Amino acid sequence: MKLKVDFKNCYGISELNHMFDFSESNMFAIYASNGSMKTSFAKIFYNTQIGTSKSLADIKDHIFDEQPVLKNIQIDDSDINKKEIFVIRSFDSFYESKTMANLLIDDSQKDKLKVLLKSRDAFYKKLSILSGLKLVKTVSKKKCFELEDVLLKDFEITSVMKNLGTLDTSKNSKELDGVQYNTIFEDSILSTIKSEVFQNHISSFLKKSDEVYNKFTFLKKGTLSFSKIKNVSSSLTENDFFSSDNKLQLSGENEVSSIDALEEQIEKVENLLKETDAFREIEEFLSDSKVESLKNLLEKSPSIINKLKFENIEEFRMDLWSHYMYQLESEYKDLLISYNDFSQENQTEFEMTPWQRAYQIFKDRFTVPFEMEISNKESAVLGESLPKVNFKFCNEDRCVSLERKKIEEEILSQGEKRALYLLHIIFDIEERRRLNNKTVFIVDDIADSFDYKNKYAIVEYLKEITSESNFYLIILSHNFDFYRTVSSRLNIKYNHKLHVKIQSNGLRLFKEEYQNSPFKTWKSKMKGDYKYIIALIPFVRNLIEYGVYNAIYFNKLTSLLHRKTDSDLILFQDLKPIFKAYIGIEDFTANICELSVVTKIYETAERVLDIENNLENKVILAIAIRLKAENFMIDKINDEGFVNSITKFQTIKLFNRYKEHHREKLDILTKVNIMTPENIHLNSFMYEPLLDMDILELKSLFDSFHNS
């Protein structure tokens, strides 16, 4: 499989074109120093994974957003499917696995679950029609269940399926036929019903309505009410119905040939209705469009008035559900049989589920102070609710369960929050593994801010998932230590270990030159280029310091890293016996043996270009910077006795003496003290700080002395 990326003006990436060839191995590691491309690269894939028009439109240069954008990601010359992408970001405190519920049931139970869910959906669909409640509705732009949530609330249960056998299905009352739950128990309507005005006057209202409907036969209870005939009048007026000698025949009345005649009939009805105070109050109260359906229902079925009395309303609510269940007796029985069949097989121990296996992967690798459990496993499996995770903390005396929000806000450390984030990532990865989904994983500095134990746990898990033939990994890091560890532990192939190089026309990914051992590379190139001899000086000095100590050799190399009286006198031939003794090589090119080492340090530093971000160039620049800085301070201090008395920490001692009487270049000299020590001493064989530093910083610092 070949993954091709072609990006232009995407976030911080001006241009990048690269082919990842997975035919030999399914993993790549990319080392990218801070600010070079790592986060932008991951964001492009992440927004492609989301795949919405908004997320895709966001892939651009947010500073110079008029720049033309190219954002092609192809697998074997075809556009990648968003389902084939999974971006693991460094950290996302709000991330929660969307597939957790899928892991709560073993594959052997899936067939019976499908039968159960099919029966449930058929039952719910018909129950939705009878009740007038929607299966799903949108509230504040978010989708939520309505029918199921109302059932859970009314029956005071946490799962409809688990309580099927306890639901009352015995009520069968003709007067309840056609009565929709939502017509009565919608919040605003129920509030109207429970009001004092409604409770006191609804009977008088209906009695007066009967009188009116008996007198004016063109009205019909529950269908063509007084308010609707007024709407008819408004509509006829608006559409100029009577303009062409059209006439209207009202039942029990003469023909109506003008809007005035129609309004006269409506006025007669209204005057009769308003004869009673009760009617006027209730008519105004029921004028809301939402309550119109209730008014129509009461006119059709006045016998339910008694059920709407305050003391009877909750009993009526349950009678209505029971009546629906009775009407859906066949579907209800099928659902109950399917549930019992599934439930009996679902007695398998929870420890056997994919969720538990995924959780065990996490527990075996990461150190956190809690245990986890799902308190609503069955309802989560059935989709009745999201999995409710409880976090259990135990001491010698007792255990306490807490919800995620509380522990994240008040209890967990930042490292533990990151570990919890990784747990949800593992859930999603394990679901993809279970389904054998082809996936390109973009892993963005996943070990950032973890301690070493958990870093190695991450590496161990990454190694485990690379065994999946359908998984392909691109692991990005700005931390060279983690990059090197991943490369080694995952046995990433030579051609698959990449570094980012910033060029004038964009970014380029190239094979790592050092392959985890820059010193071996430099040793092999010493004869062809003296700059590798210079780059090895700090390393060889470390070997003398920590190995078989030789004061003469140590002091000679120190004179090349600090400005001493003999610094300019040391020639390359003086290094031959030292290098032979400690790294077994004395094969220097003959034409350099008589040359001054310090002179060549300066010359090499001058030739280094801003884009040559190699380790040896950084080492040489760091050496040259410190020599220049010390030379500058020694000249200004002008105290030979003081300078010659310094035996250790020379740069900082010179700086402290210098700043007592001088202010020139203090800011630059401060940077020298901050930036060069780790670089020159290679951090006791740990050269990551120097690799992580942008060569532009060192080059700029060198030029500030060289040009002065």
Q: Which domains does the chain have, with CATH numbers?
A: 2-101+436-511 (3.40.50.300), 195-309 (no CATH), 518-706 (no CATH)
Q: What residues have CB less than 8 Å from 4, skipping those under 6 apart?
A: 18, 19, 20, 72, 73, 74, 75, 77
The confidence band for 675, taking pLDDT boundaries of 50, 70 and 90, is low
Give the residue among 465, 414, 484, 467 at the shortest CA–CA distance from 88. Answer: 465
Mean pLDDT of 221-228: 64
How confident is the model over 68-105, as pLDDT tens digits?
999 999 999 999 999 999 999 887 777 777 776 666 66
Find the helix packing angle between 615-637 and 551-561, rounded to 10°: 80
Beta pairing, strands 439-444 & 399-402: unpaired
How confident is the model over 610-637, as pLDDT tens digits?
656 678 888 898 899 899 999 999 999 9
Please report the pLDDT score of residue 227 as a whole number.
Answer: 65
SS3 495: helix
DSSP single-letter state for residue 429? H
Rounded to whole angstroms, the Cα distance separating 146 from 312 reads: 24
Q: Answer yes or no: is pLDDT of 668 > 50.
A: yes
How confident is the model over 547-573, as pLDDT tens digits?
889 999 999 999 999 999 999 999 999
How confident is the model over 263-295, as pLDDT tens digits?
877 777 777 766 666 666 666 666 666 677 787
Rounded to whole angstroms, the Cα distance separating 463 from 485 reads: 11
Rounded to whole angstroms, the Cα distance separating 560 from 549 reads: 18
* Mean pLDDT score across all residues of the chain: 82
Mean pLDDT of 471-482: 89
Q: Answer yes or no: is pLDDT of 693 > 70.
A: no
Mean pLDDT of 437-455: 84
CB 431 within 8 Å of CB 463: no
Q: Answer yes or no: is pLDDT of 141 > 50.
A: yes
DSSP single-letter state for residue 308? G
How confident is the model over 315-368, as pLDDT tens digits?
999 999 999 989 998 888 888 888 887 776 555 444 457 777 788 888 888 777
Please report the pLDDT score of residue 286 as a whole number.
Answer: 64
Distances (CA, A) of 628 to 150, 532, 647: 78, 20, 19
The dihedral of CA 207, 322, 377, 109: what is its sign?
Answer: negative
The reply to whether the predicted model has a pTM over 0.75 is: no
CB 10 within 8 Å of CB 44: yes
Please report the pLDDT score of residue 23 as a whole number.
Answer: 93
Distances (CA, A) of 216 to 7, 28, 220, 268: 76, 85, 9, 9
Q: Report the range of poorest mean pLDDT among 73-77, 198-202, 243-247, 677-681.
A: 677-681
Helix, strand, coil fractions of the chain, as percent rounded to 5: 55, 15, 30
Q: Answer yes or no: is pLDDT of 399 > 70.
A: yes
Please report the pLDDT score of residue 277 as a whole number.
Answer: 65
Please report the pLDDT score of residue 173 as a whole number.
Answer: 81
Other C-beta atoms within 10 Å of 318: how many? 14
Classify residue 373 as exposed, middle or buried by CB count within 10 Å of its CB (0-12, 13-18, 19+). Answer: middle
The dihedral of CA 508, 40, 81, 108: what is its sign?
Answer: positive
Find the helix packing angle between 313-327 and 329-345, rounded to 10°: 80
Phi, psi of 374 (to 5 degrees): -100, 120
The confidence band for 221, taking pLDDT boundaries of 50, 70 and 90, is low
Give the residue among 596, 583, 587, 491 at the shortest CA–CA distance from 536. Answer: 583
Q: Answer yes or no: is pLDDT of 390 > 70.
A: yes
